[in-house]
Structure 1
Amino acid sequence: MATTRRLRVFKRWMKSNGFEWSDALEFVDTPEEGIAVRALCQMNEGEVVAKMPKEACLTINTSGACEIIENACLGGYLGLAVAIMYERSLGGDSPWAGYLQLLPQQECLPLVWTLDEVNQLLCGTELHQTVQEDKTLVYEDWQENILPLLESEPSKLNPAFFGVEQYFAAKSLISSRSFEIDDYHGFGMVPLADLFNHKTGAEDVHFTALSSHDESDNESDNDDVVDGFDEGIVDEEALAQNGAIDKTENGVVSDMECSSVTEDDTSMLEMVMIKDVSSGVEVFNTYGILGNAALLHRYGFTEQDNTYDIVNIDLELVLQWCSSLFSDRHSRSRISLWRRLGYSSDSENSEYFEISFDGEPQIELLILLYIIFLTDDVYHKLDLSVAIAGNCHESSEKTTFLNGDDIFFKKASDMSKKTLLTKEVCDALLSLSDIRESLYGSKSIEDDIEALERCSFVRDRKLYHSLVLRISERKIIQKLRNYASKSCKITNPISAGKKSKKTTKRKR
């Protein structure tokens, strides 16, 4: 396949900046799928297939805008966004011109979709509210930090490259392409490393960086390996493989063998093969073990049949269901007891319950529903015992409840779901499934599946990935219904489950 002009420019730029890569790698550029990396021949585990100089990475410290960013006390992703916008403003004069011309103006993340697209395509999904909040926060960041920067540095910054659209675009590139380099450089754009596409649970090549702390003042004898995108992960196996360069079975030898770079050189980043790859297939990196909501949010794409998908049921949705059956006082008291028993998260403002890919609910949700259906008599006994015991999970004294069962003085991980799955709890799960499903609007999952079959991956990218996300989530809700229906056959109803007339139905 002929190399495109932008790839030729990029390769020349890499060579002039000290990048090294194996002759066994082929860079493929297609209008349909963008750039991918393929193996020209058999590639073996342990091979170092690419090396990237840290100083050639685009970071706050390497950018020509470093002094401006530091004077404005901007760090992290905000400072990196300024660096990207600044280098783009220089055009061909930027040291990264050969790299920047390869990048899209922005990645197709929901962050840069219009608000109408977000509301229409993501309605009901895990991302809907999150993206709305993201857009608001990013806009506020631009107002509070970028606009003042333009006013303080009018002679150094071109306003045409620092508008709100340019800031959103830079943020999308950072979200989808940045790596953690080391303690000195922090996060940055790593040319060449960001060409490898993602595949969940199928990593072929591993990004590594010997941590140099502040480069010149490292007194530690033990180097860490940093794993990009977005999160640093210590990887001892990759550390052991640093610097190991093997010949391929077909006799293709990388020019890197003649390099003077040693395995303890902290000035270079590396891409290391972690398994064998056959000739002609694409070489994948991985951005982590992520479900489709996280993939679309951070990187702008989804994967069909992603087994790491989940659906969340917010506590607010549980309260909505509870208010249709019980009084406000009943709901508040039961949730308060659930919290005091230690089964809630630390943040009361963002509590939610995960439904796994196979439709199984988080046990903390089952515990809450179980407590909601306790009779007043059992509830008051449990409430008193909690008050006496104090911190129940640390107390050595255990009081028994519910016909001798002390289940509420156990950690959630030690509790039996079978005990909690009473008929009332199962019925509640079915009702919660219906409420969660209603958030997607009037179109059925069958409508979504038909729409996806008609959708073009290339021409309708936003619609395509939003449909994959919607369908995957709705299938999980279907599995939750099946889980609840099957569990309803368990014959261990609690006598506490019957509602008294005094506690049912909220009065308005």
Structure 2
Amino acid sequence: MDTTRRLRAFKRWMRAHGVECSDALRLVDDPQDGVSVRTLCDLKEGDVVANIPKKACLTMKTSGAREIIEAAGLDGYLGLSVALMYERSLGEQSPWSGYLQLLPLQEDLPLVWSLHDLDSLLLGTELHKVVKEDKALIYEDWKESILPLTHSSPQIVDPKFFGVEEYIAAKSLIASRSFEIDDYHGFGMVPLADLFNHKTGAEDVHFTSDSSHGESGSEADENNEALEENRSEDEASTQTSSEAEQAFNQVPAENNDDGADEDSYLVVENDHPVLEMIMVKDVLTGAEVFNTYGTLGNAALLHRYGFTETDNPYDIINIDMELVLGWSSSSFSGRYTRARLALWRRLGYTPCESQNSEYFEITSNGEPQTELLVLLYILLLPDNTYNKLDLAVSTACDENGFFHVMSPGNHKITFGQTSSDIENDVFLTEDVRGALISVADKRESLYGTSSLEDDIAALKECCLPRDRRLLHSLTLRVSERRILEKLRRYARLRVDGICEGKRRKKRLNLNASP
């Protein structure tokens, strides 16, 4: 179906199911970039530009597969995946066919990439190991929860539409397009709302279920003709749309297996039955209207939504605990490393954790997590200082639960404080700065033999849409490697800057003396 026909079909579907889209918005369907939303006139903060009935959303509660999902005890993204695959299997018979035909088969997330692409494009990045683990877990979910449905109800759950590839495709759409609707529906596919593209830190429109049911404050009457094209064709389809609406409205009733559940559904619908898209800033005529998925770095954006952003201010890089301990064990014995790690933990410090992995974050400006500095400091303590601290932890702490020890430079160091209470500078000894540089180099080596300059040059040669995967993976690699570069700079310059600051403060104090 060509792009113009797809949009016409979707607009007919919206009218049939009560989805109201402001005449001030124009849907644009680009063969390369997909659908986007632009303005036909100036929009103001507070304008309601869309009203979307909850019953028009594709959820576990509204889908024709509701009984199957509930009987199998599925919920969350797993249950929504079954709902989406089921409605797709119905083709034009699905009440959501006019909406589903506008969606791609799958979003090009790393989740759907081949293992070869993952190994060649994401080597060394935050996502390489994570996505491989995701693929293994998703296959297990499919094998344990989806495959049995095709055996028990093959006439309803057509195996052709519920294979592992179809499940991964559904997961990619849900990961990148679903919204949390309410406690009853959970997450769901929200037609129209999922067409607004993302821009970090530049939200124009906000999705909300706290509906005031108001009308849009900006109706562009002078531009109505632009969105009224082929009205006669749409009017000719009224009968078909009415039939589709009737089938659609029957879905919840057909799937309610008792009166109490139906009452629960009605209570929820009578509470806030309509979702809204509300402008949160002024947008000029002709501009694209952006939603935001939050303040996410490029690793999270590529993982969840399949794209990256140049110069993303929310980029971070993680350094695995395993890598830090590997660096330590290359200089000290394994027993030495384990003992000092145990002391660090006894002092109350913990790393970040995700999927059974421990790591430390490095911010976009190259500043390491305080817990990493403390760990490196303890790993590098002279034996006599380490023994004193170990004894202090074993015997006593002050009234605040903190432990104190004199550093080799005869400075009092306090352990056991939270990150916000600690002055990082006290741990930035010459040895710790050298360790930070070594750890950064070890992390850098994971990217292979190409240099940062090689990646930047390759990125400049990329061209969309041909090199989409390469472009986004290189953008991620470059952003991560630039942070490692800043970490090394932080380690080299931090102490010099501190000393200069102290000298300047001393000079000011002297000048202020009577």
The alignment's TM-score, normalised by the length of structure 2, stands at 0.84
**Superposed CA offset, 1:128-164 (max 9, x none):** 0000000000001111111111111122111110011
Instruction: Give, in angstroms, the shift of residue 491 of structure 1.
Output: 9.0
RMSD: 2.3
Aligned pairs (5 A) from 1:229-240: none
Mapped partners of 1:247, 1:176: distance in 2: 29
CA distance in 2, matches of 1:27, 1:354: 40
Name the structure 1 match of 2:142: 142
| Residues 450-503 of structure 1: CA deviation (Å, up to 9, x unaligned) | 1111111211111111011011111111111111111253799xxxxxxxxxxx
Match of 1:316 in 2: 322
Other structure's SS at 1:407 match: strand
How many equivalent residue pairs?
Answer: 453
Q: Determine if the alignment matches structure 1 residue 461 to structure 2 residue 432.
A: no
Give the equivalent residue in structure 2 for 1:165: 165
Deviation at 1:327, TM superposition (A): 1.1
Of Structure 1 and Structure 2, the greater helix share is in: 2
Indicate yes or no: 2:277 matched with 1:271.
yes
Which of 377, 382, 385 is equivalent to 1:378? Answer: 385
Same amino acid, percent of matched pairs: 61
Change (3 A) 1:491 1:270: closer
Matches within 5 A, 1:98-497: 98-210=98-210, 243=214, 245-247=216-218, 266-345=272-351, 349-389=356-396, 394-395=400-401, 399-402=404-407, 403=410, 405-487=412-494, 489=496
- Gap change, CA 1:244 and 1:100, over 3 Å in 2: closer
The DSSP-based 3-state class of the residue aligned with 1:351 is: strand
* 1:358–1:479 CA contact under 8 A, matched in 2: yes
Q: Is the 8 A contact 1:42 1:250 kept in 2?
A: no
Please give the per-residue CA displacement for 1:396-432, whole angstroms capped at 9, x wherever unaligned. x754433361421432211111111111001001101
1:77-99: per-residue Cα shift (whole Å, max 9, x none)? 00110011111110010000001
How far apart are 1:350 and its partner, in Å?
2.1
> Deviation per CA, 1:294-335, whole angstroms, max 9, x where unpaired?
000000000010010001011101011111111112111111
Aligned-partner Cα distance in 2 for 1:128–1:96 = 35
3-state DSSP class of the match of 1:489? helix
Maintained 8 Å contact 2:21/2:50: yes
Secondary structure of residue in 2 paired with 1:50: strand
1:268 CA drift (Å): 0.5
Q: Give SS of 2:277's match.
A: strand
Which residue identity does 2:448 align to in structure 1?
G
Query: Aligned with 2:301: secondary structure?
Result: helix
Q: Which runs of 5+ in 1 are unaligned?
A: 211-238, 256-262, 493-508
Q: Which amino acid aligns with 1:439?
A: L
Alpha-carbon distance between aligned partners in 1 of 2:181 and 2:150, rounded to the nearest angstrom: 28
Q: Determine whether 1:22 maps to 2:26.
A: no
Partners of 1:9 and 1:427 lie apart in 2 by 63
- Cα distance between partner residues in 2 of 1:144 and 1:264: 37
Tell me if structure 2 keeps the 8 A contact 1:335–1:372: yes
The one-letter code of the counterpart of 1:7 is L
Taking structure 1 as reference, are residues 14 and 249 closer, same or farther at Cα in structure 2, changes over 3 Å only? closer
Secondary structure of the 2:208 match is strand
> 1:293 and 1:465 mapped to 2: Cα distance?
10
Cα deviations by residue, 1:375-405 (Å, 9 ceiling, x for unpaired): 1111111111112236x7953x754433361
Amino acid at match of 1:317: L
162-171 vs 453-462, greater mean Cα deviation: 453-462
